[in-house]
Structure 1
Amino acid sequence: MKDKEYQQLHDLPKELDDYNVNIAAQFTQSKIQGHGKFTANEKFIVIQNRKGHHRKDNLTYVLRSKKGLMIRIDINGKTHEHIPTPHVHIFDETHNNGIDAIPLSVFKNYPDLSDDATRSLIAFLDYNNFETQGLTFSQNLV
């Protein structure tokens, strides 16, 4: 994705389609639909992935738009390019379309480095400019 296009989509105020959010159970993932707050035709999907095969504590977040992958944050998971988790992959030209792994600690404005499934989801939503006021969370058991 072009840098300018990525930045415009990232900065766009967003909200979820449903304010009742299901947290993925361990070994599963959940998909959460969203859209631009003032431009409803801009659609987004947030994926909370807890499908660790080798690591039972795997936790990854992905944001997609109609134009493709935007960002992936690995809270827990495997090391990439000698960079341990938590780290970030940004799918724009500057960051080699997601190939480069960047330590999450570099992002001083990232709100919370928790590995708790609910707190880390809220942090991911906040960082990506989703409205989080009024959200309710429930734990999927399977």
Structure 2
Amino acid sequence: MRHDEIIGKVQALAHLPDRGSTERATQSVLRTLAERLPTGLADHLAAQLPPDLAAHIRETTASATSEARPSGAGEPFDLTAFAGRVAVRAGTTEETALRYCAAVLEVLDAAVSPEEMRKLTDALPADIRELLPAGRADEPPA
């Protein structure tokens, strides 16, 4: 999926007013997701996205690696912390940030391979998985 298509779909799903706010929301979710995922998985996700969106993930994992994240593991935080981080980055409320998260994750579900999405789903705790599209969120971890 191309960058413009991803941004357009996120904008529609999240009911955002313009491209700038959609870019900011998408970037905020991708950076926070990259913090939560193991580095290798985040890098594989980035490889399936357009370069400008992948850059947000790669910059975040590079920063985490330089901070000596143990064994490339993702940071263990829950849905409340996830929404809080997205809200701060996007300059919005946590409630609105949850809407952004759900929209970005739904578009990712369509944009990346099913195998990659399954790995991403398995790496997330149950409360964050609730943001995934209904069919994906209900899948038990492998």
* Structure whose residues are more often strand by fraction: 1
The TM-score, its normalising length taken from structure 2, stands at: 0.29
Mark the structure with the bigger radius of gyration. Answer: 1
* Structure whose residues are more often helix by fraction: 2
